[in-house]
Amino acid sequence: MSLYLSSLFGLLTLEMAILFLVVLPLPFKVRRKVYSVYYKWTSNRKVQTVVYIFATLVSILFFDSWRRAQFKVRLYHYQRQSEDIDDNSVVTPTQALASRAYNQRNVYISGFILYFLICIPAIFSIIRRLIKYQNLINNSEGKPVKDATPDTQPIALGKKDGKHSPAAGSSIIDDREIDHLKHDLEKKEVNLKAIQKQVKNLESYFDEQNDQKNPKVATNASEKKDL
């Protein structure tokens, strides 16, 4: 078994183990710890980069194997039964059939890996909502909320005159959303600078055109400036 095939089987086994773990009816504390570990790993930039690289390589393998497996197979009994095919026609060799089987196997493995890469974040998003709602219930009942990640943190509640009143702060925004907003702000600042530069260029162009059409007005304006 080649190295890349062993890596694919290991990745597929790991994804199946993660899915099997998260779909179990685990207690709330265990589920919260599992999600905290998932959030810690997925919030890391290096881990995100590695996952994107693996997903790209597996996608390339999937499409390449699918393309290589798309060829017609001509066997001996098909050759004898068909009247349109000559007796001297070439039968598909065993090596080509084996290569097609290997490519089909790679298509199945890489396809399941890509499918599980979509299923795992979807299931963890459901778990995140369940944990957040449970934290809200615990917070409303006065129970302490422990090991809450930023995206499962309930809305802060303050006490005033023995009653619960909403605090000034709302739910905490996670780091990924902050980075996304910063990136959008940088893009808008660059676009604003480009628009300001275009406006200045247009103003200078119109001033030059106006000076060329009305040279007397331009000379008078320059004389007034000199005075």
Q: Where are the domains of the chain?
A: 3-172, 180-226
Report pLDDT for 177: 73
Element (H, E) at 132: helix 94-140
Q: Which two tokens stand for residue 49?
A: 């980069």
Report pLDDT for 191: 85
- CA 155/CA 141 separation, integer angstroms: 13
Residues 6+ apart with CB under 8 A from 121: none
| Distances 180 to 48, 51, 125, 176, 185 between C-alpha atoms, Å | 15, 19, 19, 6, 9
For the chain, 227 residues long, the average pLDDT of each consecutive 10-residue run is: 79 90 86 86 86 89 85 60 50 70 86 91 88 81 68 54 41 62 84 87 81 63 53
Report pLDDT for 158: 44
Report pLDDT for 148: 66
- CA 183/CA 176 separation, integer angstroms: 11
Report pLDDT for 163: 44
Residues 6+ apart with CB under 8 A from 144: 138
